[in-house]
Amino acid sequence: MKQRASRLALACAVMCLLYGSVTLAARTPVPSPPPVGGTSYILLDHHSKRVLAAENADHRIEPASLTKLMTAYIAFSALRDGNISLDDEIVISEKAWRMPGSRMFIEVNSRVSLEELLQGMIIQSGNDASVAIAEHVAGSEEAFVQMMNAAAQQLGLENTQFANSTGLGHSEQRTTAHDIARLASSLIREFPEHYGWYAVREYTYNGIRQHNRNRLLWRDSSVDGLKTGYTESAGYNLAASAQRDDTRLISVVTGTRNDEARASASYALLNYGFRFFQTHRLYSAGEELTRARVWRGARDEVALGLREDLYVTIPRGQYDDLDAYMDLESAVLAPIGPDRETGRVQVTLGGETIADKALFPLQEVGEGGFFRRVLDDVRLWFK
């Protein structure tokens, strides 16, 4: 049973959905994205997950220090689960102390808090801090890498394989721009309490002040992350995120020739996305979108809604041209509960489906009494 969503039902979420056909006003077409020199790139909307621009986004590349996004994700997960604490004092191993490349300059056998190490890894890109964190969370970096790869599978990062916690060059370490963007989005969504560290411009440890390598933090106040990466074989990588109004975009640029090239390309992509696209939250999780007739139940109807907020990202100026439809089961039989998919909501723009999400009951409905069930069986037979 397919229903067109009424304006009344959508008043709080989609105030401008139209019933009938409309004459579209002339609009400036969305141009091609700006040229990006490098191996690959992607521009992703954080909320709707829509890819706004991409080139070779699923081509496997070396992540370099973008690897540390997963190192942070695992550490944040352990903090959330109560397995570790920011106040933990960690004894620095010789392996961590000897790490080459970017460092926060921790001393062997010294005690450093986990909070300091996380800041040293996120702000200063410290390889020494990354290994110390890995050893604290999992006992060894090798065991920590197993956790990283398990998390990559759980997040659906199908083209990603980690071999260390730092991003230092390794023949078995690979990812894609698309996978990094999805990882970044998961990190932002799941750990807002820690995400603020990615916007910090400098950090001082052991009397040594170092600056965040993400140049965009100085260029635009809407940019609040995320991570740079470089090795000679990988080139210059940058995963960046910015929020303007209710729209958050994530860009990943890989394999550029130098630091300025990755910053300029990322900034051009972000500006392109904000200039020509806009994200709208159409429905909130748990909001009643429609009601379904329930047969053989203790109640005649049940409210239906979504488990997660529904966002769409569309070209600017086309919000009034959205349409929403509810496609419901023809006969919903009790008993039913919140896990039972009973229909779908589809959002279209210009005849193209841009969102398609399952609808679930917002309440449980048990079986009705004997006479209610018999009466409904008769009605269903005639129906």
89 neighbors 116 (Cβ within 8 angstroms): no
State how far the Cα of 42 lies from the Cα of 39, in Å rounded to an integer. Answer: 11
Instruction: For CA atoms 189, 84, 100, 168, give the dihedral sign.
Output: negative
Other Cβ atoms closer than 10 A to 306: 19
190 neighbors 199 (Cβ within 8 angstroms): no
- Note if 68 is an active site residue: yes
- Note if 125 is an active site residue: yes
Amino acid 149 reads N
Cβ contacts of 146 within 8 Å, gap of 6 or more: 138
Strand-pair partners of 131: none
Q: Which helix (H) or strand (E) holds 121?
A: helix 114-122
Question: ∠54-60-66 over CA atoms, to 5°?
Answer: 85
Catalytic residue among 68, 185, 186, 266: 68
Residue 371 φ/ψ, nearest 5 degrees: -70, -35
3-class secondary-structure state, position 192: helix
Residue 148 φ/ψ, nearest 5 degrees: -60, -45
283 neighbors 306 (Cβ within 8 angstroms): yes
Residue 249: asked if its preceding bond is cis (omega within 30°), the reply is no
Catalytic residue among 65, 130, 186, 266: 65
State how far the Cα of 156 lies from the Cα of 44, in Å rounded to an integer. Answer: 16
Cα dihedral 58/145/125/41 (nearest 10): 0
Q: Where are the alpha helices (DSSP H) in the chain?
A: 68-80, 94-97, 114-122, 127-138, 141-154, 177-190, 192-195, 216-219, 259-276, 370-382
Catalytic residue among 40, 93, 102, 125: 125
Active site residues: 65, 68, 125
